[in-house]
Amino acid sequence: MIDPVRHLSEAGHLLRFYIDGAWREPEGRERFAVVNPASEAVVAEIAMGNEADVERATLAARRAFRPWSRTSPAERAALLSRVHALVLERAELIAQALRTEMGAAINYARAAQVPLAAEHLRVARDNLESFPFVAPRGTTAILREAIGVCALITPWNWPLYQITAKVGPALAAGCTVVLKPSELSPLSALLFAEIMHDAGCPAGVFNLVNGSGPVVGEAMASHPEVDMVSITGSTRAGVLVAQAAAPTVKRVAQELGGKSPNIVLPDADLERCIPLGVASAMRNLGQSCSAPTRMIVPRARLAEVEALAARTAAEFVVGDPLGEATTHGPIANRAQYERIQTMIETGIAEGAKLVIGGAGRPDGIDAGLFARPTIFSEVRSDMAIAREEIFGPVLAILPYDSVEEAIEIANDTIYGLGAHVHGTDMDQVRDVAGQIRAGQVHLNAPAWDPNAPFGGYKRSGNGREYGREGMEEYLETKSVLGYYA
């Protein structure tokens, strides 16, 4: 088995940052323990940056911006192709890092976390090759130009996936970047920095500084030489970043929290859509901002839904991430594990019907941050488990009496990131989708589309990632009159 910690330690990269084309010693001396959530053992220590480290990385990105932004699309596409190829070549090493740092079941890391992350790089490259950076409008030219130096702040739940979703389009647009990955899952980010270096990324174009949000994140967001901040994280973190960025009037793109609905219409095929809905809600242990954790179902079919949902959850195998049969590993960190336990107990106290699961670890597991896949039914919209983002394997089933009521329940949230609709009558399915206030809606469990823009309404954020729209976030618009005179 490939050991990512040993690899990074022998390379000397655990306690360094990647700045200006080389691995640099940090200015500060603070360290952070990386914990394997399956065992709760400390497996590594990383360096934690400070304002001086952000200054070095940001100035390196500023120096590199002009030459990089003036490269041709073909040159930038060539770099992205090399990075894409190296991610796939080192897929097993990265998968083992994800298993170690966040407890991802190894088969899930191999089948989803790594290949989907690689897709963001491919899409950024492909969109770059056909993007109209100069377009005529009469005698005026509409130019799309790189916005500048971009600070990228990524979360712990989809570590590499969120990095490539930002770095790929930013570099494609001609921007330079400073990345702050989550300190809770830093190993895959360090491996990605190695890939950027080995792919021949010019010095200063890509920089990485590990650290905390209040120190490194705030320093990046407030830095006058940063032109844009893109953050994926909690709504609270997004607000703090926007506040820090406001005095310098920089662009802020936010992909934040969610409490996504899954409307099951009266004519839906329950045998198909309920297992798919449960699996979607608990994908990645429910540690996904767009997880459809509110299943909204016809009251007349509630008993059928409960039985199918319980049967599906009972088939999950929670355990050792290295186990071949394991479908779900541990929760990624202690704070999140405790949050999930608190919310399960809250659901019980609120009077929701516990269909399966509950507080504590699954039977037969005595150590590690393992949670029981939990389903509540007879949930009301005023209950905390229906309103608050739990970010764990907890599904709330809410009954409705009319389709109009289902839509009202779906929209009765401060969030608006994702949504799902299931039904047989496609005219009705499309109509319902059009009435949901969310940035991305899935109809009848379609295949993932890396070109479909992703982002939120309301407190789920602003801006879009993925596809062409994801690259446009990193571009400014300039009109040049008389260009074609």
Of 78, 75, 117, 73, the closest CA to residue 95 belongs to 117
Amino acid at 377: S
Q: Cβ neighbours of residue 124 under 8 Å, at least 6 residues apart? A: 80, 168, 169, 171, 172, 470, 471
List the catalytic residues: 255, 289
Q: How far apart are CA 253 and CA 476, in angstroms?
A: 14
| HEC letters along 205-248 | CEEECCCCHHHHHHHHHHCCCCCEEEEECCHHHHHHHHHHHHHH
Contact 240, 229 (CB under 8 A): no
Contact 362, 384 (CB under 8 A): no
φ and ψ at 109, to 5 degrees? -60, -40
Order of strands, edge to edge, in the sheet holding 294-298? 353-356, 374-377, 394-400, 294-298, 261-264, 418-422, 440-443
Q: How far apart are CA 104 and CA 8, in angstroms?
A: 19
CA dihedral over 136, 141, 142, 143, signed as positive or negative: positive
Q: Cβ neighbours of residue 130 under 8 Å, at least 6 residues apart? A: none
C-beta pairs of 345-351 under 8 Å, 24+ apart in sequence: 346/384, 346/385, 347/374, 347/376, 347/379, 347/383, 347/384, 347/385, 347/394, 347/396, 350/383, 350/384, 350/385
Contact 221, 151 (CB under 8 A): yes
Contact 208, 193 (CB under 8 A): yes
